[in-house]
Chains A and B, each alone.
Chain A
């Protein structure tokens, strides 16, 4: 509530610049004679005294209970708030938690009451990741500007919105978001704005905000001119005109070497924070992966072939237009194919469900498939996972995509006397907390679905089993990221279970192993994949359906080569950034990993 009915308006009192507020109706209570005891009055004043805080970060105590704040992150947040007036390029090396830093800055400003309208621009693949990160770690409710987010009501209807940069560029959307003065604008993967002639850049230039955070591990992809463009968005004119900048700081015509390093450092230190892994002194553990490839039993092979043929016939029966734009029917068929690869109970349930709605002929066909599923008995992967659990002494995190598979794995492991906890999006918050507690304390295994797993901190566990394998490498990375993150002190072991000759087997061999997915450091993947990630799953499925296993294999091989090139390119860019910023100290740390 703003100014109460007894409060004068600014004009009335002549206090043209002082706004008087009474959000708790103190004046009304006073006038109505609603008095409380002196103890309440004292407690009321104490609440303000506590909130004013004396520690470096006002939001510190709250955040401490939800996230592990690293010294370099706290220093970066303080530097951005105290010295950069909230406009900065957060350019830490990959894996140092830039997203967390940005969210911490937001939290701090929000607690101070300086920020209420927030816009986050991200690549399309990361919108929901941001939403979950903010929800689970910061208890902040943001809406993704997408029809897929049920909370989304319109581009001008939300104060806290996450929007993909591709959507934001559309003229109707751009008009709406550019017409708002945002308190805070966060641009993730800001290297996408490197070129000042692109729509991305023009959009960023047209947006107005009090505070601006741009996040990228690689502020320049090719040359220093790109860094100039980014800084120009944050503080136009800081680096002078482009010609002046080039003549002052470029040591070669390609802009890949720096002249006047110290002068550049001085200017950049006003808008840029960059901490390297070396400067943090944090332990960065390794990842080791092992693929357990199993030969299918005859019954498993027959089931795989039969269901795949069923899916293919359904897919090919769809009109071409639907196939091309990945309609709901296509999505359902992809899911069916993935349920098949996940476990027999998962595919059985899916087939039964389809049977309920199917016509007589299709129902008959589905009935035969169900009979085949019944003949499988125990899945070969299940036998392998039991062996793995028996042979391992530490805690194990097993990921399954589907709830039926989760339940199947749980029941199978409990039969051999293993204490198992489960975690899924179907559980409520209390059940999830109890599960995590159980895993931490006495359960040896946590069987987890991806849904709802965001925000879990499981650094006490270092063994991950992919019981089934997502077709999207980002999802694999998110799974591993639950244990391999800042704060993990041991090397992480990843076991992938696949059946020989299946599509997942090829994805693993020709795609994931090619880009060395399981050896990547935290955060690398986004840099490598870019928007390509969204296309992987439908592309594989389409080629599998239209050209069979051989066609799919070729497609996956081609993708693998493409991603391999992307990986090499990303490595070159990272090295280039390291080289250019070598000797340019922009970290708020003192070099010993402390403030």
Chain B
């Protein structure tokens, strides 16, 4: 749930160690950087009306001031506590077997998670946050987007400016891939609107040109009949030459109006880097034996465990080669998922590959 403006302000005051004194519903604040200035703020509209202090809301001057400051501080470092390989393996769901950990080889890695505010504006604006998480090998880390485990502060080790720079560069590529589809959809939609607007303008000016020509034709026919002097029309008093001039003027106006529409429907796409967190974490390459409960079959497995306890590459079913939900180890050592078991209701379930 989004925090309220009041929660945000109070957290800011606490974190920035600013002075705040409450008087009724009014808060007198001295910000840390400018102790001589006192801001009278409130979160109650009634109070704002009564005492003349500023009602803090999104867009109000005090909010803007502290939000700007908070936004300059959106860079952090944290380490993710190590996962216990044994416990992580035990969490892998099995039907008739379990894992016995043989060895766990730890690798220390870094990751960078960047948050971008992606904005597309045409005549309207659409905005959303886009996250990009990459490891120091430049690989995207999808698990990091949903990672909700605990983080610990500290100082980064073993990563230098050059590595971070190359991670930043890589993040731009991933960001581009992520927003490409949406950007294209909006471009197409805007193109549609623009072409509607251009059609409207073109048909409007075509009509104006036709009318000018008709009036001039009429004037000419009247002049030929001798019913009017000097090739002039009855209603419009327009000569053929005047019509031509007018048409040239319409051409210019049409080009101008179309140009205006093109400017209006220009798509601007921006990604503003709003926050970054550098993370250090350990992953484990685990060698384990999967053994069935009857003790008549076992299989050696190598998995890489992520900091959230998941395996990096899913374990695949020997039968269908798709990721397994729950593992069944048959007596012949085949590892299959529930979907690939042949069900014989009277005597149980068997491996599709060997009936074992």
Counting CB contacts under 8 A, is B73 at the interface?
Answer: yes
- The residue of chain B having its C-beta at the shortest distance from the C-beta of A63 within the complex is B59
Which chain A residues lie closer than 8 Å to B117 at the CB level? 48
With beta carbons under 8 angstroms apart, the residue of A13, A15, A27, A86 that contacts B273 is: A27
Which chain B residues lie closer than 8 Å to A61 at the CB level? 5, 57-60
* Contact (Cβ within 8 A) B57 A85: no
* Contact (Cβ within 8 A) A49 B52: no
With beta carbons under 8 angstroms apart, the residue of A20, A40, A211, A434 that contacts B172 is: A20
| Known contacts A18-B179, A38-B153, A40-B73; A244/B48 CB under 8 A | no
Q: Identify which of residues 209-227 in chain A touch chain B, using a CB-to-CB cut-off of 8 Å.
A: 210-211
How close is A177's CB to chain B, nearest CB, in angstroms?
A: 15
Counting CB contacts under 8 A, is B23 at the interface?
Answer: no
With beta carbons under 8 angstroms apart, the residue of A38, A65, A107, A440 that contacts B57 is: A65
Counting CB contacts under 8 A, is A237 at the interface?
Answer: yes
| Known contacts A38-B151, A43-B15, A44-B71; A6/B165 CB under 8 A | yes
- The residue of chain A having its C-beta at the shortest distance from the C-beta of B169 within the complex is A8
How close is B280's CB to chain A, nearest CB, in angstroms?
A: 12
- The residue of chain A having its C-beta at the shortest distance from the C-beta of B128 within the complex is A52
Selecting from A109-117, A164-172, A293-301, A487-495, the interface stretch reads: A109-117
Counting CB contacts under 8 A, is B275 at the interface?
Answer: yes
* Contact (Cβ within 8 A) B75 A26: yes
Selecting from A28-36, A187-195, A354-362, A529-537, the interface stretch reads: A28-36
Which chain A residues lie closer than 8 Å to B273 at the CB level? 4, 7, 20-22, 24, 26-27
* Contact (Cβ within 8 A) B55 A50: no
Selecting from B88-96, B199-207, B342-350, the interface stretch reads: B199-207
Chain B residues touching A, range: 35 or more
How close is A385's CB to chain B, nearest CB, in angstroms?
A: 27
Which chain B residues lie closer than 8 Å to A244 at the CB level? 207
Q: Identify which of residues 386-425 in chain A touch chain B, using a CB-to-CB cut-off of 8 Å.
A: none
Q: Please, how many angstroms separate the alpha-carbon atoms of A437 and B40 in the complex?
A: 14
* Contact (Cβ within 8 A) A50 B2: yes
Which chain B residues lie closer than 8 Å to A45 at the CB level? 74, 115, 274-275
Which chain A residues lie closer than 8 Å to B201 at the CB level? 236-237
Counting CB contacts under 8 A, is B133 at the interface?
Answer: no
With beta carbons under 8 angstroms apart, the residue of A18, A52, A62, A139 that contacts B270 is: A18
How close is A59's CB to chain B, nearest CB, in angstroms?
A: 5
* Contact (Cβ within 8 A) B274 A210: no
Which chain B residues lie closer than 8 Å to A24 at the CB level? 68, 71-72, 74, 273-274
Interface 1/0 per residue, B72-103 and A, CB below 8 Å: 11111110000000000000000000000000
Counting CB contacts under 8 A, is A37 at the interface?
Answer: yes
Q: Please, how many angstroms separate the alpha-carbon atoms of A103 and B45 in the complex?
A: 21
How close is A193's CB to chain B, nearest CB, in angstroms?
A: 16
Which chain B residues lie closer than 8 Å to A236 at the CB level? 200-201, 204, 257
Interface 1/0 per residue, A223-240 and B, CB below 8 Å: 000000000000111101
Counting CB contacts under 8 A, is A260 at the interface?
Answer: no
Counting CB contacts under 8 A, is A181 at the interface?
Answer: yes
* Contact (Cβ within 8 A) A13 B172: yes
- The residue of chain A having its C-beta at the shortest distance from the C-beta of B263 within the complex is A181
- The residue of chain B having its C-beta at the shortest distance from the C-beta of A43 within the complex is B70
Interface 1/0 per residue, B196-236 and A, CB below 8 Å: 00001101110110010000000000000000000000000
* Contact (Cβ within 8 A) A18 B183: yes
Which chain B residues lie closer than 8 Å to A47 at the CB level? 8, 67, 70-71
| Known contacts A31-B164, A33-B156, A62-B57; A26/B204 CB under 8 A | no
Q: Please, how many angstroms separate the alpha-carbon atoms of A223 and B75 in the complex?
A: 62
Counting CB contacts under 8 A, is B11 at the interface?
Answer: yes
| Known contacts A41-B275, A44-B274, A65-B48; A36/B76 CB under 8 A | yes
Which chain B residues lie closer than 8 Å to A7 at the CB level? 168, 273
How close is A573's CB to chain B, nearest CB, in angstroms?
A: 28
* Contact (Cβ within 8 A) B73 A62: no
Which chain B residues lie closer than 8 Å to A25 at the CB level? 72
Which chain A residues lie closer than 8 Å to B104 at the CB level? none
Which chain A residues lie closer than 8 Å to B271 at the CB level? 18-21
- The residue of chain B having its C-beta at the shortest distance from the C-beta of A4 within the complex is B273
Interface 1/0 per residue, B52-66 and A, CB below 8 Å: 101101111101000
Q: Please, how many angstroms separate the alpha-carbon atoms of A37 and B169 in the complex?
A: 24
- The residue of chain A having its C-beta at the shortest distance from the C-beta of B214 within the complex is A243
- The residue of chain B having its C-beta at the shortest distance from the C-beta of A36 within the complex is B73
Counting CB contacts under 8 A, is A46 at the interface?
Answer: yes
* Contact (Cβ within 8 A) A13 B277: no
Which chain B residues lie closer than 8 Å to A8 at the CB level? 169, 172
Which chain B residues lie closer than 8 Å to A441 at the CB level? 50
Counting CB contacts under 8 A, is A17 at the interface?
Answer: yes
* Contact (Cβ within 8 A) A35 B278: yes
How close is A581's CB to chain B, nearest CB, in angstroms?
A: 24
Which chain A residues lie closer than 8 Å to B175 at the CB level? 18, 20
Q: Please, how many angstroms separate the alpha-carbon atoms of A26 and B58 in the complex?
A: 22
How close is B283's CB to chain A, nearest CB, in angstroms?
A: 22
Counting CB contacts under 8 A, is B28 at the interface?
Answer: no
Q: Identify which of residues 260-292 in chain A touch chain B, using a CB-to-CB cut-off of 8 Å.
A: none
* Contact (Cβ within 8 A) A51 B70: no
* Contact (Cβ within 8 A) A23 B75: no
How close is B16's CB to chain A, nearest CB, in angstroms?
A: 9
With beta carbons under 8 angstroms apart, the residue of A13, A51, A243 that contacts B67 is: A51
* Contact (Cβ within 8 A) B70 A44: yes
How close is A503's CB to chain B, nearest CB, in angstroms?
A: 39
* Contact (Cβ within 8 A) B2 A437: no
Q: Please, how many angstroms separate the alpha-carbon atoms of A197 and B155 in the complex?
A: 71
- The residue of chain A having its C-beta at the shortest distance from the C-beta of B60 within the complex is A62
Which chain B residues lie closer than 8 Å to A440 at the CB level? 50
Q: Please, how many angstroms separate the alpha-carbon atoms of A44 and B72 in the complex?
A: 8
A-B residue pairs, 9 tightest by C-beta? A237-B204, A62-B59, A44-B74, A61-B57, A433-B52, A65-B55, A41-B76, A47-B67, A85-B123
Can you report 24 A-B residue pairs in the complex whose CB atoms are below 8 A from each other? A7-B273, A18-B270, A19-B271, A20-B175, A25-B72, A26-B275, A29-B75, A31-B168, A35-B156, A38-B153, A40-B74, A41-B76, A44-B73, A44-B275, A47-B67, A48-B129, A48-B274, A61-B58, A62-B58, A62-B63, A65-B60, A82-B124, A113-B119, A436-B52
